[in-house]
Amino acid sequence: MQKKYLLAPGPTPVPERALAEMALPIIHHRAPEYSVVLQEVRDNLKYLFQTKNEVLIFTSSGTGAMEGCVSNLLSKGDRAIAVRGGKFGERWFDICKAYSVDVQAIDVEWGHAVSPKAIEDALNKDPKIKAVYIQASETSTGVYHPVKEIAEIVKKRENTILIVDAITALGVVNIPQDEWGIDVVVTGSQKALMLPPGLAFASLNEKAWSFVEKSDLPKYYFNFKKEKKSLEKNQNAYTPNVQLIVGLREILKEIKEEGLEHVFKRHANLANATRKAVQALGLKLYPSDEPSNALTAAWAPDGIDAGKITKLIREKYGITIAGGQDAVKGKIFRIAHLGYAGCFDVITVISALEAVLKELGYKFETGTGLKAAQEALFGN
Amino acid sequence: MQKKYLLAPGPTPVPERALAEMALPIIHHRAPEYSVVLQEVRDNLKYLFQTKNEVLIFTSSGTGAMEGCVSNLLSKGDRAIAVRGGKFGERWFDICKAYSVDVQAIDVEWGHAVSPKAIEDALNKDPKIKAVYIQASETSTGVYHPVKEIAEIVKKRENTILIVDAITALGVVNIPQDEWGIDVVVTGSQKALMLPPGLAFASLNEKAWSFVEKSDLPKYYFNFKKEKKSLEKNQNAYTPNVQLIVGLREILKEIKEEGLEHVFKRHANLANATRKAVQALGLKLYPSDEPSNALTAAWAPDGIDAGKITKLIREKYGITIAGGQDAVKGKIFRIAHLGYAGCFDVITVISALEAVLKELGYKFETGTGLKAAQEALFGN
């Protein structure tokens, strides 16, 4: 018997109460009992997004809602910017390309955050740019982009909107959509929402909806207007994953009970402890700029393949963390402290990390990482 | 305490063993244990589709895969036919329109099946038609279209492919894709696959893949080539709904244990008994042509609103069946015998139907429907 732990940046563990709710018999998506569930979910999504907008719900992974943010907001040949500082920034760029959008990448070295000035300069240089696509937390690098500052730049421009992929950020850090004036916020079910993958969300403000009115790109399943109209009648446009919506009701209730402020604080504490522990072990954090509170990305020690760390930690200790992707494959590892995570998940993963690093021949005093984590979590 | 029964044509009830599997902790979609699940699912999907093709898997409802069958197979301005004999036929037409395909509807009166000759004539008249879109079982009317005969017509033409929405047909009636030479078969998780909504499938033969090569329509999330390439490496292109895939493994195992032949026979028996019972009660079946074995659609008695039947049967007896859609709303009701359904589901729903019809003032001898069902199911 090997006890399993899921500490990768999505999918994340599902709280037991939500798993139990989702194991109940399926209800019909046009039945009155579903209406009650959907109404509560719609209300509480507004709380989560800190918005008055109707939050759109799609049965797909997050990428589906990202695609919808291109096909519903732009027209062929429209100009756009995609901040490309990791795998998911590349995805924005690729989706734009797939739809013949005239997209320009702002390339940011992996591990770095984009500077708001780079975006301001690009917009000044080409005022015809209609959309800026960015991640809040770039999951592939563990970097947090300065979304608030970028929103301030974009919202001054009448003909440009900001679309934020907050898939590993919403419900982790404070991103008050309405207060900051972010035009579109996207997220998915399998990160801070603590559900299996399979639901994607998009919240559009009035400015963004005015872009939808002008868009001529083809769309069908991810049709934002159609889903909004249906939701306003308390239905979904196409058969939704009722099981996940039932789970979502439970999750949103739990988030509301904990309170967003506490949720953010919990993530900040776990992130801080993980970073401290990793650094105490003499390892270097991968992000050069502000790290995301969703996950900690760190360089493997010199001479040790990061792939060996993730493999050993899984096989020997039952813990799933993530390795690096593409350019940093084998070089970094990523530990998530995201969603249904608490203090002892940090203690557990640092304990396993110490054991694995020892086995791989890395030299340090046993317990150094644990001590740092313990101090960060509970004080001296 | 009111015991609940779900007898609508999707979502359908989920077998308890699959619900239990799906209530287990989430696994990571890049972890070795997921590979084992996916490999088994891929193998058994081939059994279900009766094909050698790699069956594509998307995290979405069935409509997502339908959209992909337009955006991946055609190019702008290509000509296509959509058989429009119900709500889902309309969907094919609408998706084609959304992508600027030059689509022509073959309109079939609701409740009727398309005649293969109508399709042959249309293809003869315009040999440039590249694709024929059709339903096997049109869920809104309960009609089964003659897919086998249509496949024989289409497969003779080098430059035309047949795309069959088999969402309420696959796993209900025998549609051997390879044997019949159907180019593309689509299905979803929430019908005969007895899972919650959230997975869609498409199986393409070589001829269809050659169309994919030429397609220039925009696509990203529903990118068939990308998903095929990933599956061949035993992965999904985008984060899949791992929970549903885990459930699917269990379901496909159960289908294989029962054996497709028995699955088809079971559905045929349940359908036959339901039809006999409804007719014994003096009600008229809605389909004028071959009815689908997935569901029985019937006219409400004169002077009785079908909406009242579905409402009463739900509120008083906890049974969810479906009403009519669009043109036949309030006129017909639809009872599903689809997926995780057995003899006593038919007995139960006919018993409730009798009770409700009595309450609504319809005259008949109590037990007439039940007797007919009983005879059909178990013999005289």
Is A198 in Cβ contact with B244 (below 8 Å)? yes
B14 touches chain A (CB under 8 A): yes
ipTM computed for the complex? 0.92
Q: Which tokens go with A3? A: 């006890």
**Residue B73 CA to its chain's centroid (Å):** 21
A242 touches chain B (CB under 8 A): yes
Is A320 in Cβ contact with B31 (below 8 Å)? yes
H, E, C per residue of chain B: CCCCEECCCCCCCCCHHHHHHHCCCCCCCCCHHHHHHHHHHHHHHHHHHCCCCCEEEEECCHHHHHHHHHHCCCCCCCEEEEEECCHHHHHHHHHHHHCCCEEEEEECCCCCCCCHHHHHHHHHHCCCEEEEEEECEECCCCEECCHHHHHHHHHCCCCCEEEEECCCCECCECCCHHHHCCCEEEEECCCCCCCCCCEEEEEECHHHHHHHHHCCCCCCCCCHHHHHHHHHCCCCCCCCCHHHHHHHHHHHHHHHHHCHHHHHHHHHHHHHHHHHHHHHCCCCECCCCCECCCEEEEECCCCCCHHHHHHHHHHHHCEECEECCHHHCCCEEEEECCCCCCHHHHHHHHHHHHHHHHHCCCCCCCCHHHHHHHHHHHCC
Mean pLDDT score across all residues of chain A: 97
pLDDT at A31 over 90: yes
Is A221 in Cβ contact with B196 (below 8 Å)? no
CATH number for domain B16-257, candidates 3.40.50.720, 3.60.15.10, 3.30.565.10, 3.40.640.10: 3.40.640.10
Residues 296-355 of chain A whose Cβ lies under 8 A from any Cβ of chain B: 314, 320, 322
pLDDT at A148 over 90: yes
Fill in the DSSP letter of residue A146: -
Q: Which CATH architecture has domain B5-10+259-378?
A: Alpha-Beta Complex (3.90)
Token look-up 């699912």 returns: B41
Is B59 in Cβ contact with A218 (below 8 Å)? no
Bridge partners, residue B297, by sequence: B334
pTM (2 decimals)?
Answer: 0.95
pLDDT at A351 over 90: yes
Torsion-angle region of B361 (φ positive above 0: left; ψ -120 to 50: alpha; else: beta): left
| For A10, nearest residue in chain B (alpha carbons) | B28
**One-letter amino acid identity for A323?**
G
A5-10+259-378 and A16-257: same fold? no
Torsion of CA A202, A205, A209, A215, to 10 degrees: -60
CA-based nearest distance A181→chain B, Å: 28
| For B91, nearest residue in chain A (alpha carbons) | A220
pLDDT at A380 over 90: no
Burial of B148 (0-12, 13-18, 19+ CB in 10 A): middle
CA-based nearest distance A193→chain B, Å: 13
What does the domain layout of chain A look like in residue ranges? 5-10+259-378, 16-257
Query: What's residue B1's pLDDT?
Result: 85
pLDDT at A275 over 90: yes
Angle at A287 between CA A282 and CA A290, to 5 degrees: 115
For A213-270, the DSSP string reads HH--S--STT-HHHHHHHHHTTS-SS---HHHHHHHHHHHHHHHHH-HHHHHHHHHHH
Query: A349: Cβ–Cβ under 8 A, 6 or more apart, which residues?
Result: A5, A7, A274, A313, A319, A321, A335
Query: What's residue A208's pLDDT?
Result: 98
- What number of C-beta contacts closer than 8 Å exist between A and B? 173
Is B13 in Cβ contact with A239 (below 8 Å)? no
Round to whole Å and give the CA distance between A295 and A168: 9
Query: What's residue A1's pLDDT?
Result: 85
Bridge partners, residue A203, by sequence: A55, A185
Nearest Cβ partner of B23 from A4, A22, A238?
A: A22
Residues on chain B touching A35 (C-beta within 8 angstroms)? none
CA-based nearest distance B324→chain A, Å: 13
Residues 145-204 of chain A whose Cβ lies under 8 A from any Cβ of chain B: 188, 190, 196-198
Residue spans of chain B under pLDDT 70: none
Per-residue confidence band for A32, with pLDDT thresholds at 50, 70 and 90: very high
State the pairing for strand pair A79-84/A129-135.
Answer: parallel
A131 touches chain B (CB under 8 A): no
Residues 79-118 of chain B whose Cβ lies under 8 A from any Cβ of chain A: 94-95, 98-100
Nearest Cβ partner of A98 from B30, B219, B242?
A: B219
Residues on chain A touching B238 (C-beta within 8 angstroms)? 61, 63-64
Distances (CA, A) of B229 to A97, B57, B141: 20, 12, 37
Distances (CA, A) of A133 to A75, A79, A85, B51: 15, 11, 12, 41
Query: What's residue B96's pLDDT?
Result: 98
Per-residue confidence band for A99, with pLDDT thresholds at 50, 70 and 90: very high
Closest listed residue to residue B249, CA positions, set B7, B11, B13, B15: B15
Query: What's residue A120's pLDDT?
Result: 98
Token look-up 């021949």 returns: A361
